[in-house]
Chain A
Amino acid sequence: MPAPAEMRIVLKNIDKPGYTRDIDCYLKHGGYEELKKAIAMAPADIIAEVKASGLRGRGGAGFPCGVKWGFIDPKKNTKPVYLICNADESEPGTFKDRQIIHKEPHQLIEGMIISCFANNVKLAYIYIRGEFPYGAKILEEAIEEARAHNFIGTNILGTGYDLEIYVHRGAGAYICGEETGLIESLEGKRAYPRIKPPYFPAVLGLYMCPTIVNNVETLCDVKHIIKMGGAEYGKLGRPNNTGTRVICVSGDVEKPGYYEFETGKITMGELIYEVCGGIKGGKKLKAIIPGGSSAKIIRAGEVFKVKEKQADGSMADKEIKLEDVILDFDSLAAIGTMAGSGGVMVMDETRDITRCLANLSEFYAHESCGQCTPCREGAQWMKKITRRIATGEGRAADVPLLKSVADNIAGKTICAFGEACSWPVQSFLAKFKDEFDAKAAAGTGPVVRPVEPTMSAPKGSAAYKAAKEPVIAG
């Protein structure tokens, strides 16, 4: 059976020849029609449509969007409600929001205005990562264009509804993608995530007011839900995994890129071997990280035992090959990993898996915000131990040591970064234990070097110069 064709809803106009990002082009293609439709609806009805659609957040956690919005009770709440678009896009392997922001910013803005109207939001921010300087400019221009058409500002389209949207730039810290870290950052502080409870954004968010944080793609989906109706949108995909999903593929495939499919209609095998043209250079597959770098790795040739619901409602065991795994939230969760942010990273048979993990561990060590001891110290140790295994300076005892470090982080931290940094280590070790054991055992053991430079090592000193980065390429 050939792979299903892409179903481009969010990406419909992206990369279309002749399509430009200005408002005139957007309007010519039916832009802002859904805003006009939504703004004539009762806010509660918009929320009901989003609930009916079954839309789950596209930022990583897959939380149902309508349920999230429903946490704020307009009858009881007396504070202003804020909405923040999470455009931090920093999960390694994910590069979809960038496309929308750069190529069709008005789709996002229209989705945002509808979402703000539905939740009685008068002030909203787009938190965009610092490394998208043009993205920020493009969004600011688009906001001004929308303002000129009275889609933003006061008395929008004569309805009496007022809304301001501003762009806020991050500055290179991954943890700003975590919604409470993002909120702290937007308040002008370090992006230290807040502990939940009590700091659920829906209760104590931006400026301690109820706040909705949604990913770029999620907010775009809202526009299409209004267009199609929640029930119709909910028919796309599979139950509990509705709509479409943008999947980003990178690494060792012939045709990396971003693709949009009806959720749950494509398997891993179809994605890699048909859509992406197979493994680069005719090599064989070694491993896949299916949902952004935090998602647990899966090994080529793996067969998973899953429970499957039968027609009569009973559950039966079923074996499923990696190639046949369906790419949606529930199917990937069932095989012990996650759909996460939709970033699929592929490694071929020639890759040294210990080096791949060393690369990711370095990422997490760099990005831990440092508030929680298990995460801050654990991430550093995971980096050091994987690095020395990968560069041939390990010893047999390093593998269990590494595992014990990873096992003592998750669940003991303020935010989900703790899980995000330990899952790769735990899963790489579980799936490729043979390779880690062999490489660690063959190592020389830790080599004594001058201490790494610290904040107190002056530039030009010996300690500074001793800090050579070992090469941890793939």
Chain B
Amino acid sequence: MSSVTDTSETTHSASHDVHDPHLHDEVKVELSPDFLAQADKIVSKYPVSKRSAVMPLIYLWQDNFGYVSQQGVRWIAQRIEIQPINVMEVLTFYPMFRQHPVGKIQFKVCRTLSCALAGSYETCEFLRKKCGITEIDEHGLGVSDDGKFSVEFVECLASCGTGPVVMINDDLYEKVDTSKAQELLNKVS
């Protein structure tokens, strides 16, 4: 079994990390053989360039640990022999990648026009209120204090004919008005 050990934690703290409460976490992550096998399988899908595996490896890490820590960044960089900064540039570009923990139950409400016309703003407002979310960050993400829920607006989810649409983790729900949102909340909490 291999584990990730930190080597560079003390030397650098790049300015974008200054508010990252997890930067100096001393968590030693045990990577299971299954995790490592999955990583190998991912890399094998890109026979021309290992670098292409950076997005699926970020997903792999995130699916296992909830978000991608600096340890994750370094591990991924080493696995495909690129610089950590090249992992960071990808991690910070794509909205679905997380550098911080988000809710265990993640609501993503479509914000874009067809869903807005169908009432997605009401749905989002409702979910925020019900989940006790009072603060949202610069990306519009709000996490409940107990870390159980997060609610955020996202852009068009390609289901515009059945708006408002909401994703709860990986599942898509259609025509989610406030009463359906309440039902879904009851179901998942």
In-complex Cβ contact of B121 among A132, A189, A366, A471 (8 A)? A471
B37 interfacial contact with A, CB 8 Å? no
Hey, which chain A residues are within 8 Å of B131, CB to CB? none
Contact with B along A69-108 (1 / 0, CB 8 A): 0000000000000000000011111110110000000000
Contact of A251 with B113 in the complex, beta carbons under 8 Å: yes
Q: Determine, out of B2-10, B24-32, B52-60, B178-186, the stretch whose residues face the partner at the interface.
A: B52-60
A338 interfacial contact with B, CB 8 Å? no
Number of interface residues of A (CB under 8 A): 70
Question: A94-B160, A169-B55, A465-B135 in contact; A188/B49 too (CB < 8 A)?
Answer: yes
Contact of A170 with B158 in the complex, beta carbons under 8 Å: no
Contact of B160 with A345 in the complex, beta carbons under 8 Å: yes
Contact of A95 with B51 in the complex, beta carbons under 8 Å: no
Contact of A473 with B119 in the complex, beta carbons under 8 Å: yes
Contact of A93 with B160 in the complex, beta carbons under 8 Å: yes
Contact of A367 with B155 in the complex, beta carbons under 8 Å: yes
B95 interfacial contact with A, CB 8 Å? yes
B33 interfacial contact with A, CB 8 Å? no
CA distance A249 to B54 in the complex (A): 36
Contact with A along B165-176 (1 / 0, CB 8 A): 001001000000
CA distance A452 to B163 in the complex (A): 29
Contact of A188 with B53 in the complex, beta carbons under 8 Å: yes
CA distance A91 to B96 in the complex (A): 17
Question: A172-B95, A173-B93, A248-B161 in contact; A460/B121 too (CB < 8 A)?
Answer: no
Contact of A472 with B116 in the complex, beta carbons under 8 Å: yes
| Chain A residue with the shortest CB-CB distance to B155 | A363
B38 interfacial contact with A, CB 8 Å? no
Contact of B55 with A185 in the complex, beta carbons under 8 Å: yes
CA distance A163 to B179 in the complex (A): 49
Question: A250-B163, A257-B161, A345-B160 in contact; A188/B155 too (CB < 8 A)?
Answer: no
Contact of B114 with A93 in the complex, beta carbons under 8 Å: yes
Q: Determine, out of A10-18, A123-131, A219-227, the stretch whose residues face the partner at the interface.
A: A123-131
Contact with B along A282-306 (1 / 0, CB 8 A): 0000000100010000000000000
Task: For chain A, residues 243 to 275, give those with C-beta under 8 angstroms from any C-beta of chain B.
Answer: 248-252, 256-258
CA distance A347 to B117 in the complex (A): 8
In-complex Cβ contact of B114 among A89, A171, A251 (8 A)? A251
| Chain A residue with the shortest CB-CB distance to B115 | A250
Q: How large is the interface on B (under 10, 10 to 19, 20 to 34, 35 or more residues)?
A: 35 or more
Task: For chain A, residues 136 to 191, give those with C-beta under 8 angstroms from any C-beta of chain B.
Answer: 166, 168-174, 185-191
Q: Determine, out of A57-65, A354-362, A395-403, the stretch whose residues face the partner at the interface.
A: A354-362
Contact of A168 with B160 in the complex, beta carbons under 8 Å: no
A134 interfacial contact with B, CB 8 Å? yes
Contact with A along B124-168 (1 / 0, CB 8 A): 010000000001111010000000000001111111111100010
Contact of A98 with B158 in the complex, beta carbons under 8 Å: yes
CA distance A366 to B141 in the complex (A): 14
Hey, which chain B residues are within 8 Å of A131, CB to CB? 96, 108, 154, 157-158, 167
Question: A92-B114, A131-B158, A207-B49 in contact; A459/B19 too (CB < 8 A)?
Answer: yes
Contact of B113 with A356 in the complex, beta carbons under 8 Å: yes
Hey, which chain B residues are within 8 Å of A460, CB to CB? 135
Contact of B59 with A171 in the complex, beta carbons under 8 Å: yes
Contact of A188 with B161 in the complex, beta carbons under 8 Å: no
Contact of A95 with B113 in the complex, beta carbons under 8 Å: no
Hey, which chain B residues are within 8 Å of A95, CB to CB? 158-161
CA distance A256 to B162 in the complex (A): 7
Question: A95-B158, A95-B159, A131-B157 in contact; A187/B49 too (CB < 8 A)?
Answer: yes
Q: Which 9 A-B pairs have the closest CB atoms?
A: A171-B94, A250-B160, A172-B95, A256-B161, A172-B96, A250-B114, A188-B51, A474-B117, A92-B156
> Can you list 15 pairs linking A and B with CB atoms under 8 Å apart?
A92-B155, A92-B156, A93-B156, A95-B159, A123-B48, A131-B108, A131-B154, A186-B52, A187-B49, A188-B80, A207-B48, A343-B160, A359-B116, A363-B112, A363-B155
Interface residues of A (CB under 8 A from B): 89-95, 97-98, 123, 129-134, 166, 168-174, 185-191, 206-207, 248-252, 256-258, 289, 293, 343, 345, 347, 351, 356, 359-360, 362-363, 366-367, 452-455, 457-460, 464-465, 467, 469, 471-474
